[in-house]
């Protein structure tokens, strides 16, 4: 018997209460509807505010190191962000456990907290 994913966390977007989308073992931080809206496939549902702002939230060095992304110098970097689960648990999909980070901060934070050790981040 395979393991059945019988618990699905909620979409992190404000005002959205759908269960998150997942493909196999990977769980997205948002639901399928918001995921598509994020790519411009359709509009967000009425009353839903996207969690992502397109900018790294480590601009105040809250992770203990400065963000290397300078949005004034690199405006193309706006929108290139990733959602980090602070405790490394993708099932703990609540606002207090998620941060929007640029890829550089995400990687550094992951190395510092040990997220990259072991199988959890086996590519992709």
Which residues lie near Zn ion (CB under 5 A)?
11, 13, 16, 18, 31, 34, 56, 58, 67, 69, 102, 105
Instruction: For residues 111 and 49, give the distance between their C-alpha atoms in angstroms, rounded to a whole number.
Output: 31
Which of 10, 88 has the CB closer to Zn ion? 10
DSSP summary character for residue 110: H
Shortest gap between Cβ of 59 and Zn ion (angstroms)? 7
Which of 1, 41 has the CB closer to Zn ion? 41
Shortest gap between Cβ of 29 and Zn ion (angstroms)? 9
Which of 18, 22 has the CB closer to Zn ion? 18
Instruction: For residues 111 and 77, give the distance between their C-alpha atoms in angstroms, rounded to a whole number.
Output: 22
CA torsion, points 31, 37, 43, 44, in degrees to nearest 10? 40
Shortest gap between Cβ of 4 and Zn ion (angstroms)? 23
Q: Which two tokens stand for residue 44?
A: 């967000």
């Amino acid at each position: 018997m395979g393991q059945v994913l019988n618990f699905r966390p909620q979409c992190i977007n404000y005002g959205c209460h759908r269960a998150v989308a997942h493909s196999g073992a990977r769980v997205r931080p948002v639901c399928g509807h918001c995921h598509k809206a994020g790519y411009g496939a359709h509009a967000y549902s009425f009353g839903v505010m996207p969690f992502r702002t397109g900018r790294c939230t480590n601009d105040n060095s809250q992770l203990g190191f400065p963000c290397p992304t300078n949005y004034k110098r690199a405006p193309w970097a706006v929108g290139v962000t990733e959602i980090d689960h602070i405790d490394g648990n993708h099932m703990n999909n609540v606002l207090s456990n998620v941060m929007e980070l640029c890829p550089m901060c995400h990687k550094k934070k992951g190395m510092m907290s040990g997220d990259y050790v072991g199988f959890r981040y086996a590519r992709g």
